[in-house]
């Protein structure tokens, strides 16, 4: 019977044949060049490790050679023992043990080299892609779901890195191993060599008819697995909501339904594997018995020795394995190409807007800046305006409010101010007192501190959360920021103060406490412009007013731009803008007062 290792080799070979069809089709339709472009990109990362790759190839060839030497030594050892000739017994034992030992050493070294190089290339690609994702245009990167980006960043990079080093050396080693093994068999018996050569492709070609069925099953399994994973992520992420509605049992039943679907499909695939396994075993047994029968005939007629028979049977399997290893490289070649293409797609996203002279603005931090919008139009989707012909101004020392119904464009205004998105028409500028102005872009974002909507506290200690924006902040500076945000009162009561741990998304804190920590983090940054996007919604009115007064008092020239639904904020503001029906308009003092009363 064919053992599990042989079964796996046959499966790899079938995939290899299927992949040959893909390569032929790519060549015919003119898209084969895309695969070569993907591999040129992969080699751009592996090129600097070429010395290690050459060493890896040499060690692989040496290991294969020593394996053959050990097999030949075993043949003569068997011949000596069966013929009771012991003159060279010690020499052959030494050769066999030595070749086996050195082959093991070389394989171990290769394993170590391969693992190290794969990790190095994986880290190189991930570091490069991480930088490019972080520097990608906001509109471009948000077209991808977080799950898709993570899948490309982890799984696709892993696929590329695991094959970038091994692909070419494995082909060379497989070709060498195949040629050397065939030569050894051919040297002792030409017919044996031809029989061994014919056995591998015969068993592979006979199994081609099951490839399409296997591909269909693989596709179904991947699709169902993806759907189950999506369900699981959504359930765990929304655990608070599920518990709050008391619908845990409903989700337990849904989980069972997904499990039943997966069980049914898994058993169907298992039955197919059993049937095809029987077929493959029958074919494998037939080929094996033909080879074994031929060896017995040659041994019976005295044409070969026991040692030669053992060598042939052993190397027949090695020849088949070498052939299948070479063929199985093709799916890895294609899979790496697909993964590389998906990674390159992220890497080629347009970059954020960089304006190098923006750094000249740093000299005006203490004096403060003006934020100006002039005749701005903006659309996320062409033909659907979110902001239309709108103006906006915020000056040093001012608290400026953006009010209006949900979904009308307040957060869009914040994104325009941060330079995450850019107007279709008009300008969004940062202007210093001397009159110099620069368009909003990534190179002036360090002059802003931003508190977005929702819970932005990360897992870790409070001090780690705070030092995200200022790595070298002292404990005293952190405590000072917490005091300004009215957060120190509850932090100092925690067991370890600022070194107390909080869970993911601020678990262990109330919504108001998490908000105050986020505001304190922005205050610690001490940027000239503070943006609060509904960042005080969970605070009581008294705390909200104290926090805003503290912020202005801390830095007289600081601009504080607040999006809010709270009337308590409006009385503290020097300017109030309303965003409604895509239009941003400034309210006069009378309108602001009336708006505060109408809230």
Average pLDDT, stretch 40-50?
82
Tell me, what DSSP letter sits at residue 353? P
Query: Quick check: 511 and 538 in contact, CB under 8 A?
Result: yes
> For residues 540 and 533, what is the distance between their CA atoms, to the nearest angstrom?
16
> For residues 176 and 181, what is the distance between their CA atoms, to the nearest angstrom?
8
Residue with tokens 């608290």: 399
* pLDDT at residue 14 tops 70: no
* pLDDT at residue 57 tops 80: yes
Mean pLDDT of the chain: 78
The C-alpha angle 245, 246, 247, rounded to 5 degrees, equals 90
Average pLDDT, stretch 305-313?
77
Residue 6: predicted pLDDT:
46
Crossing angle (nearest 10°) for helices 248-300 and 306-347: 150
Average pLDDT, stretch 404-431?
89
* pLDDT at residue 205 tops 60: no
Query: Quick check: 7 and 282 in contact, CB under 8 A?
Result: no
Residue with tokens 């202005």: 552
> For residues 45 and 125, what is the distance between their CA atoms, to the nearest angstrom?
7
Closest CA to 172 of 54, 57, 335, 17: 57
Using pLDDT thresholds of 50, 70 and 90, give the confidence band for residue 65. confident
Using pLDDT thresholds of 50, 70 and 90, give the confidence band for residue 83. low
Residue 439: predicted pLDDT:
92
Q: Which residues contact 534 (CB under 8 A, 6 or more apart)?
A: 453, 563, 564, 565
How would you classify the pairing of strands 448-451 and 529-533?
Answer: parallel
Helix (H, G, I), strand (E, B) or coil at 577: strand
More confident residue, 492 or 303: 492
Using pLDDT thresholds of 50, 70 and 90, give the confidence band for residue 226. low
Residue 86: predicted pLDDT:
62
Assigned token pair, 503 = 């869970």
Most confident of 244-253, 340-349, 497-506, 544-553: 340-349
Sign of the alpha-carbon torsion through 542, 543, 548, 549: positive
> For residues 97 and 70, what is the distance between their CA atoms, to the nearest angstrom?
8
Most confident of 46-55, 368-377, 579-588: 368-377
Using pLDDT thresholds of 50, 70 and 90, give the confidence band for residue 15. very low
The C-alpha angle 166, 171, 173, rounded to 5 degrees, equals 90
Query: H or E element: which one contains 239?
Result: helix 239-245
Helix (H, G, I), strand (E, B) or coil at 449: strand
More confident residue, 517 or 308: 517
> For residues 482 and 498, what is the distance between their CA atoms, to the nearest angstrom?
9
Closest CA to 524 of 567, 457, 473, 453: 473
* pLDDT at residue 584 tops 60: yes
Assigned token pair, 235 = 């359930």
Assigned token pair, 451 = 């508190």
Closest CA to 573 of 584, 587, 554: 587
How many Cβ atoms from other residues are within 10 Å of residue 553's Cβ?
A: 10
> For residues 375 and 191, what is the distance between their CA atoms, to the nearest angstrom?
86
Assigned token pair, 203 = 């068993």
Average pLDDT, stretch 13-35?
50
Question: Distances from the Cα of 156 to the Cαs of 79, 125, 336, in angstroms?
Answer: 52, 10, 8
| Global confidence as pTM | 0.72
The half-sphere exposure of 380 on its side-chain side, counting CA atoms within 13 A, is 14
- 556-573 pLDDT tens trace: 788 889 887 777 678 778
Most confident of 24-38, 142-156, 208-222: 142-156
Most confident of 104-108, 308-312, 442-446: 442-446
Question: Distances from the Cα of 593 to the Cαs of 85, 394, 422, 542, 564, in angstroms?
Answer: 113, 19, 32, 19, 15
Residue 372: predicted pLDDT:
93
Query: Quick check: 139 and 89 in contact, CB under 8 A?
Result: no
Per-residue burial over 344-362, b if 16 or more Cβ lie within 10 Å, else e, is bebbebeebeeeeebeebe
> For residues 224 and 273, what is the distance between their CA atoms, to the nearest angstrom?
19
* pLDDT at residue 221 tops 80: no
- 120-171 pLDDT tens trace: 888 888 888 898 888 888 888 888 777 677 778 887 888 888 777 777 787 7
**Judging by beta carbons within 10 Å of its beta carbon (0-12, 13-18, 19+), is residue 47 exposed, middle or buried?**
exposed
Using pLDDT thresholds of 50, 70 and 90, give the confidence band for residue 1. very low
Q: Which residues contact 367 (CB under 8 A, 6 or more apart)?
A: 396, 432, 433, 557
* pLDDT at residue 67 tops 70: yes
More confident residue, 595 or 155: 155
* pLDDT at residue 391 tops 90: yes
Query: Quick check: 497 and 491 in contact, CB under 8 A?
Result: yes
* pLDDT at residue 335 tops 80: no
- 171-200 pLDDT tens trace: 788 788 888 888 887 887 777 777 766 655
Give the length of the chain: 599
Per-residue burial over 418-428, b if 16 or more Cβ lie within 10 Å, else e, is bbbbbbeebeb
Query: H or E element: which one contains 560?
Result: strand 559-563
Torsion angle in degrees (nearest 10) through CA of 102, 106, 108, 109: 140
Using pLDDT thresholds of 50, 70 and 90, give the confidence band for residue 381. confident
Q: Which of 40-49, 120-129, 277-286, 511-520 has the lowest mean pLDDT?
A: 277-286
Residue 479: predicted pLDDT:
92
- 433-449 pLDDT tens trace: 777 899 999 898 889 88
Q: Which residues contact 47 (CB under 8 A, 6 or more apart)?
A: none
Tell me, what DSSP letter sits at residue 458? P
Q: Which residues contact 131 (CB under 8 A, 6 or more apart)?
A: none
- 519-552 pLDDT tens trace: 888 888 888 998 888 776 667 777 777 888 887 7
């Amino acid at each position: 019977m064919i053992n599990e290792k042989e079964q796996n080799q046959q499966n790899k070979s079938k995939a290899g044949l299927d992949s040959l069809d893909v390569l032929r089709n790519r060549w015919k339709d003119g898209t084969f060049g895309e695969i070569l472009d993907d591999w040129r990109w992969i080699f751009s990362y592996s090129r600097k490790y070429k010395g290690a790759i050459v060493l890896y190839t040499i060690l692989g060839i040496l290991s294969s050679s020593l394996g053959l030497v050990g097999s030949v030594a075993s043949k003569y050892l068997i011949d000596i023992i069966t013929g009771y000739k012991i003159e060279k017994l010690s020499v052959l034992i030494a050769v066999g043990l030595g070749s086996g030992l050195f082959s093991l050493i070389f394989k171990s070294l290769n394993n170590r080299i391969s693992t190290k190089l794969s990790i190095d290339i994986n880290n190189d690609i991930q570091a490069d892609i991480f930088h490019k994702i972080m520097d990608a245009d906001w509109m471009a990167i948000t077209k991808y779901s977080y799950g898709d980006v993570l899948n490309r960043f982890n799984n696709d990079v892993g696929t590329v890195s695991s094959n970038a080093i091994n692909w070419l050396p494995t082909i060379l080693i497989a070709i060498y191993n195949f040629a050397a093994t065939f030569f050894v068999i051919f040297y002792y018996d030409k017919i044996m060599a031809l029989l061994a050569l014919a056995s591998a492709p015969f068993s592979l070609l006979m199994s081609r008819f099951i490839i399409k069925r296997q591909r269909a099953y693989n596709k179904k399994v991947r699709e169902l697995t993806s759907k189950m994973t999506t369900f699981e992520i959504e359930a765990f992420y929304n655990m608070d909501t599920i518990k709050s509605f008391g619908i845990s049992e409903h989700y337990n039943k849904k989980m069972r339904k997904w499990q039943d679907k997966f069980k049914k499909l898994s058993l169907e695939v298992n039955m197919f594997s059993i049937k095809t396994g029987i077929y493959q075993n029958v074919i494998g047994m037939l080929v094996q018995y033909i080879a074994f029968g031929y060896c017995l005939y040659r041994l019976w007629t005295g044409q070969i020795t026991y040692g030669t028979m053992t060598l042939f049977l052993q190397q027949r399997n090695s020849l088949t394995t070498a052939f299948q290893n070479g063929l199985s490289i093709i799916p890895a070649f294609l899979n790496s190409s697909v993964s590389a293409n998906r990674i390159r797609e992220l890497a080629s996203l347009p970059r954020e807007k960089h304006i190098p002279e923006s750094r000249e603005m740093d000299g005006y931090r203490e004096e403060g800046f003006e934020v100006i919008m002039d005749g701005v139009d903006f659309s996320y989707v062409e033909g659907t305006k979110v902001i239309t012909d709108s103006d906006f101004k915020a000056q040093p020392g001012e608290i400026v409010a953006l009010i209006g119904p949900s979904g009308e464009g307040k957060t869009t205004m914040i994104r325009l101010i941060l330079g995450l998105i850019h107007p279709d028409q008009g300008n969004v500028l940062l202007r210093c007192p001397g009159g110099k102005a620069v368009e909003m872009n990534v190179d002036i974002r360090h002059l802003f501190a931003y508190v977005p909507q929702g819970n932005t506290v990360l897992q870790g200690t409070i001090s780690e959360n705070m030092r995200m924006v200022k790595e070298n902040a002292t404990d005293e500076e952190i405590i000072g920021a917490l005091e300004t945000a009215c957060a120190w009162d509850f932090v100092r009561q925690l067991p370890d103060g600022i070194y107390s741990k909080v869970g993911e998304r601020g678990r262990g804190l109330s919504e108001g406490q998490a908000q105050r920590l986020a505001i304190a983090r922005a205050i610690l940054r001490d940027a000239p412009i503070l943006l609060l996007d509904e960042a005080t919604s969970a605070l009581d009115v008294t705390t909200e007013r104290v926090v805003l007064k503290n912020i202005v008092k801390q830095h007289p020239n600081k601009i504080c731009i607040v999006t809010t639904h709270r009337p308590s904020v409006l009385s503290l503001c020097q300017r109030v803008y309303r965003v409604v029906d895509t239009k941003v308009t400034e309210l006069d003092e009378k309108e602001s007062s009336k708006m505060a009363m109408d809230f």
